[in-house]
Amino acid sequence: MNVRMNAEVEQALREGKPVVALESTIISHGMPYPQNVETALQVEKIIRENGGVPATVGIIGGVCVAGMTEEEIREFGWKGQEIPKVSRRDLPVIMATGSWGATTVATTMIIAAAAGIEFFVTGGIGGVHRGAEQTFDISADLEELGRTNVTVICAGAKAILDLEKTLEVLETKGVPVLGWQTDELPAFYTRTSGLKVDHALKDAAEAAAIIHAKRSFGLDGGVLITNPIPEEYSMDPEEINAVIRSAIAEMDSLGIKGKECTPFLLAKIAEITGGESLASNIRLVFNNAKTGTEIAKEYCKAYGK
């Protein structure tokens, strides 16, 4: 796969500097304009301030890009949902037709790996949807984590999902689920879920050592590092779960399915909470960018790239 990289990203990879990939679905589908653009640019700024090089990933004119320009990010934000979400199955069509595409977690991982980028920061991964035993609605993110060699730093799986089943699938796929200074899986809007991760990380050095061990042994697949939302932005678990149940009920009544579920639910939850959930979403992404860059820096320092 040919990936277009900007000069900053290309040079950083050549010199073994910490490069951190970012997805573009969060720009076009994750939040309204102009907040989406402001958030995307702020995340890039946080990565730079902490010693890393950001590489926002997207598809422009059928070309996979790792390191979008500010102008391209602004256009993604302005076009919004006119730009389709692109997962693994959609890539051939988008590339062959010369279209634009907003990359999901799965597609960002594919493009990051093709570019030689080990680290990717996002808000939350997709997973097993509630009621999947009837709908079979399971995110392609889990399949990608099982096969693609990228470390993903997030605030856990999105809280709209069945977190217990999501962990079961990750175990089946052989994906280490690590907690950043916690032994409990964070639940996106909240710091706790009642579920245990595979290992609690003490610091960036331990995270880097685990990633290096997996890569050195030739164990294909991702590493998932789950980073709890900062305490001051964490929402009340009972309140947010009640809101999620209400949003899911409305989604079901409208017959919304497939890849339209997550954008609908996130928007509906933001509406019901008066924007509080969106504010939490933005803060957890900022926090993940800082933590992810710290781990990427340590990995490059200890192991060269």
Residue 144 annotated in active site: no
Give 157's contacts (C-beta < 8 A, 6+ positions apart). Answer: 124, 125, 126, 127, 163, 166, 185, 187, 188
Residue 301 annotated in active site: no
Beta pairing, strands 119-121 & 151-154: parallel
List of long-range contacts for 10-16, beta carbons under 8 Å, 24+ apart: 10/67, 12/53, 13/115, 13/116, 13/117, 13/305, 16/300, 16/304, 16/305
Q: How far apart are CA 164 and CA 135, in angstroms?
A: 17
Q: Which of 44, 72, 144, 158 is catalytic?
A: 158
Locate 204 and state its tokens. Answer: 């960036």
DSSP track, 271-288: HHTTTHHHHHHHHHHHHH
Q: Which of 10, 23, 44, 144 is catalytic?
A: 23
- Nearest CA-CA partner of 64 in 117, 37, 103: 103
Say if CB 266 and CB 179 are below 8 A apart: no
Catalytic sites, residue numbers: 23, 158
